[in-house]
């Protein structure tokens, strides 16, 4: 968000936020089928029933895998990953992006079929993993005015 604001408070600010997410996603994935990954968490090794809001944000997702965060703990918790393939187009995951921006869900990733480009939105921004420093630098420079005022852009 402008001035490193973390959460949107108005329709105009949501427009900026979704516009920025979609701009970068479109630069990464125009015309491609992508993997959409979402997460749920529980204290069981199997996901069980997904919450209704998760299904609303990521309909048709299939359970991919579950990972124990710390098996040595007496009270381990599990991350359950769900995945689907979608045809990327601007706006296709706006409800999910808005939920991420509102911190109503987390752990979302959008990746190309080779897992060479990964977009990980979170409340307050996004991480973008690219195969080369040159690609990273081009993307960063193209949107330099969106970066935080922190010296490292964080």
SS3 state at 73: coil
Instruction: Read off the pTM.
Output: 0.89
3-state SS track over 93-140? CHHHHHHHHCCCCCCCEEEECCCCCEEEEECCEEEEECCCHHHHHHHH
pLDDT above 60 (res 54): yes
What pLDDT, on the 0 to 100 scale, is given for residue 3? 62
List the domain range (segments joined by +) for residue 84: 2-146
Q: Is residue 40 part of a domain?
A: yes
Average pLDDT over residues 115-138: 95
What pLDDT, on the 0 to 100 scale, is given for residue 106? 92
User: How many domains is the chain partitioned into structurally?
Assistant: 1
Q: Which has the higher per-residue pLDDT, 52 or 84?
A: 84
Q: Is residue 153 part of a domain?
A: no
What pLDDT, on the 0 to 100 scale, is given for residue 5? 64
pLDDT above 80 (res 117): yes
């Amino acid at each position: 968000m402008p001035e490193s604001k973390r959460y949107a408070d108005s329709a105009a600010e949501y427009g900026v936020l979704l516009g920025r997410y979609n701009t970068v996603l479109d630069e990464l994935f125009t015309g491609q089928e992508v993997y959409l990954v979402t997460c749920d968490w529980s204290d069981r090794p199997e996901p069980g029933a997904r919450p209704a809001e998760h299904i609303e944000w990521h309909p048709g997702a299939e359970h991919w895998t579950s990972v124990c965060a710390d098996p040595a703990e007496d009270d381990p918790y599990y991350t359950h990953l769900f995945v689907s393939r979608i045809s990327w187009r601007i706006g296709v995951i706006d409800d999910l992006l808005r939920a991420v921006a509102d911190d109503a869900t987390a752990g979302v990733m959008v990746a190309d079929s080779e897992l060479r480009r990964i977009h990980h939105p979170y409340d307050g921004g996004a991480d973008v993993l690219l195969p080369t420093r040159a690609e990273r630098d081009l993307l960063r420079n193209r949107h330099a005015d969106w970066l935080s005022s922190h010296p490292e852009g964080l």
